Amino acid sequence: CDLLTKDGLKKALKTVRDNPGCSMHASIPCSSWSTWTDLNLHRLGKRFRTKLLNDRKQSLVMLHHFKIVAREVNSLGGKFSFEWPRYSRGWNFKELQSFITKFSIPFVDFDGCSLGLKSS
């Protein structure tokens, strides 16, 4: 489901409600929170900054929608997970940290390359 849209949010909630006890995993795009953005801001200027701010805004919408769906998954006896790279600046959001604390979400830190993870 596309958690950037209200229709995607509705579809995700319907899927969860139709499947109580389900497991959900979210992988929200992370490039806008990468440490590389600092370098790119200096190199690429105003046009990059405008795109970056828009990408971050969209990422926060997806994160907000993920939390809504995750609460529903949890209330129906299911489990949920979420991933971002280890050094993503997104981990610093107070609202995400509070959510992690509230649901006692454990951290798992691994290197996908060492496990054979490859891009298509």
pLDDT tens digits for 74-98?
Answer: 999 999 998 888 888 889 989 899 9
CA trace torsion 18, 20, 21, 27 (10° rounding):
40
DSSP, collapsed to helix, strand or coil, labels residue 78 as coil
Summary count for the chain: helices (H), strands (E): 3, 2
Q: What is the pLDDT of residues 5-64, one digit of tens each?
A: 999 999 999 999 999 999 999 888 888 998 888 888 889 989 999 999 999 999 999 999
The two three-digit tokens of residue 97, written as one number: 């940290």
pTM, 2 dp: 0.86
d(CA 27, CA 10): 18
